[in-house]
Amino acid sequence: MTVTATETADRAAAMLSRPAVINGLTVPNRIAMAPMTRMFSPGGVPGEDVASYYSRRAAAGVGLIVTEGTYVGHESAGLSDRVPRFHGEEQLAGWAKVADAVHAAGGTIVPQLWHIGMVREQGQAPYPDAPAIGPSGVRTDGTEGTGKAMTRADIDDVVGAFAQAAADAERIGFDGVELHGAHGYLIDQFLWAGTNRRADAYGGDPVARTKFAAEIVAAVRERVSPAFPVIFRFSQWKQDAYDARLAGTPGELEAILAPLVTAGVDAFHASTRRYWLPEFEGSELNLAGWAKKLTGRPAITVGSVGLNGEFQEAFQGRGAELRSLDNLLDRLERDEFDLVAVGRAVLQDPEWAAKVLGGRLDELAPYDAATLKTLS
């Protein structure tokens, strides 16, 4: 049966307008804004333009804002002084204003807490003397780079930095936190066998490789209130290894996710490049669908929602055309996941959520890569 554009628009408005619950947080609808690095925070301080950028999308109906990645308080966490930091008096004051602005616009917001690990090169801002660190001093492309394998003291320091950032997030008014465990950054470097070659308790089988991430989750959980949501973002793919896989089977994925649930994760944000692709043979479930099925926790899907191509192509100057939402709605109707994170489409059009929730799909526009050059 052919589905008309009007039927799709009405269906999208009805299904995406339903609220979702993550621990003690009620999100007003199923639309989330995906975290996207923008580099418009000189000195690591998010200013009024950043607050306006996020609150404008909340005012248009985005239910949950997941901020761009923001560095935790560890000197090796970042690589640019224009990426916001989640430590320091001025930086946290800026973030408090962002949270207030989003709340005033009717939305909810969580910061994405980030440590890039071996992606960093020594000499990069904001702390040029700090070395890159990782589980084994190995990059996602297999090279050793200029970094070092983390000691037990390094591990404790980073775990503490994430916990402090989460405590600060709750203190200054955020609605939860997201831990960035995806895309080949530090937490993911421990999860993936390609970068984790340790012979101690933090390396080996999938459960051992999850120990570092689970310790971060547990430390965060201890520093925040019981109802404060802790979201964990993960992926199979890495920035320099699109074909990489944490898990080749559902059983292997469960071995990774189960310790995180035990440690206190409330929801999983499963990052894929194309949400409509099945994750394992024999099932149509995508990565978010498997995360929800295996853990029973709410899941967020992401990956070229509403557009063709993928977000990484935007950095190469490529635009994207509109893509039907029918497959997404079919999956949502089957309760495969709970929220839908939207990236480039919401960058292109701050009113995207309002148009979708209002049944106005005919007003959506293709993505222009020039959008990345401004913060609007």
State the Cα angle at 72 between 79 and 120, rounded to 5°: 25
CA 165 to chain centre: 16
Residue 165 half-sphere exposure toward CB, CA atoms < 13 A: 32
For the chain, the structural domain boundaries read 5-373
| Residues that are catalytic | 185
The residue type at 220: V
Pairwise CA distance, residues 70 & 54, whole Å: 14
CATH superfamily of domain region 5-373: Aldolase class I (3.20.20.70)
User: How far apart, in Å, are the Cα atoms of 51 and each of 87, 193, 231, 322?
Assistant: 17, 38, 22, 28
pLDDT tens-digit profile, the chain (376 residues): 467 889 999 999 999 999 999 999 999 999 999 999 999 999 999 999 999 999 999 999 999 999 999 999 999 999 999 999 999 999 999 999 999 999 999 999 999 999 999 999 888 999 999 999 999 999 988 888 778 999 999 999 999 999 999 999 999 999 999 999 999 999 999 999 999 999 999 999 999 999 999 999 999 999 999 999 999 999 999 988 889 999 999 999 999 999 999 999 999 999 999 999 999 999 999 999 999 999 999 999 999 999 876 555 555 556 677 889 999 999 999 999 999 999 999 999 999 999 999 999 999 989 998 998 999 9
What pLDDT sits at residue 318? 61
Phi/psi at 155 (5° precision): -60, -45
Residue 176's nearest CA partner among 24, 301, 279 is 24
List Cβ<8 Å contacts ≥24 apart for 195-202: 195/118, 195/134, 195/135, 195/136, 195/138, 195/139, 195/140, 196/135, 196/136, 197/135, 197/136, 197/138, 198/135, 198/136, 198/149, 202/135, 202/155
What pLDDT sits at residue 224? 99
User: How far apart, in Å, are the Cα atoms of 339 and each of 37, 332, 374?
Assistant: 20, 8, 27
pTM of the model: 0.96
Residues 225, 226, 229, 230: what is their CA dihedral angle, to the nearest 10 degrees?
A: 90
Q: How far does the chain reach from its first CA to its final CA, in angstroms?
A: 40
What's the chain's Rg over C-alpha atoms? 19
